[in-house]
Amino acid sequence: MLDFKKELAKAVQHFWQVRGKQKKRQGSKGGKKDAGNRGAVTGGKHADGFVRLIAAIVKDAGLRNVAIHVSEKKQRTLPGFYRPSKEWDLVVLSDSNLVAAVEVKSQVGSFGNNFNNRVEEALGNATDFWAAYREGIFKPSQKPWLGYLFMLEASPESTRATQRINLNPYAVDEAFQERSYAKRYELVCERFVRDRLYDSACFFYVKLGYW
């Protein structure tokens, strides 16, 4: 049986190690680095540990006659409805049947600037996916499974309460008022699942460099 906690710890370790190496290496040849933390993410691959863990979970489930795609970009790209296509982090197929698709995201720093962007991105991806399914783009597949994993950096900025938002004439949902970004993300993931935008959502936060 897969030791989920142990493997998740390895995935987190991989995330910080690759991120640190990329940030240090990025721009070394040209002498120019991306501003802020962007240099740590433009190289990609930092979330590969999470993708491999999800793939291992699928494999461990003992599903028959399935192909788990995590590396080849073309095999992880599915057609959409509001756009031509979308590259997912993991796609599971059984012959010509779509079994599952998973999106993996993370955020380190810039919490106030990026919270809305991350939510809008996740909403758009799910909306496009289910519209494509509704229109029969994935035929002959039965209803596929859609998953979302999100890791947030745990820091004073992400875990402390935010200031109250006052708008006029419409009030902000009290569920978001004076809650940390971590609590907001947790609430968003709960609502994703409750509203059936995603079949399952995994959210967690980890301190910088912790494993």
pTM (predicted TM-score) = 0.85
Residue 27 clears pLDDT 60, i.e. is over it: no
Q: What are phi and psi of 85, to 5 degrees?
A: -160, 165
Q: What are phi and psi of 209, to 5 degrees?
A: 80, 5
Tens digits of residue pLDDT in 146-195: 999 999 999 999 999 999 999 999 999 999 999 999 999 999 999 999 99
CB 69 within 8 Å of CB 76 = yes
Residue showing tokens 């599903």? 63
**What's the CA gap between 209 and 32, in Å, rounded?**
25
Q: What are the C-alpha distances in Å from 31 to residues 23, 41, 77?
A: 13, 17, 34
DSSP 31: S
Q: What are the C-alpha distances in Å from 99 to residues 21, 30, 66, 121, 178?
A: 35, 43, 8, 22, 39
The pLDDT value recorded for residue 120 is 96
Q: Which domains does the chain have, with CATH numbers?
A: 50-207 (3.40.1350)
Task: Decide: helix, strand or coil at residue 60.
Answer: helix
The pLDDT value recorded for residue 85 is 98
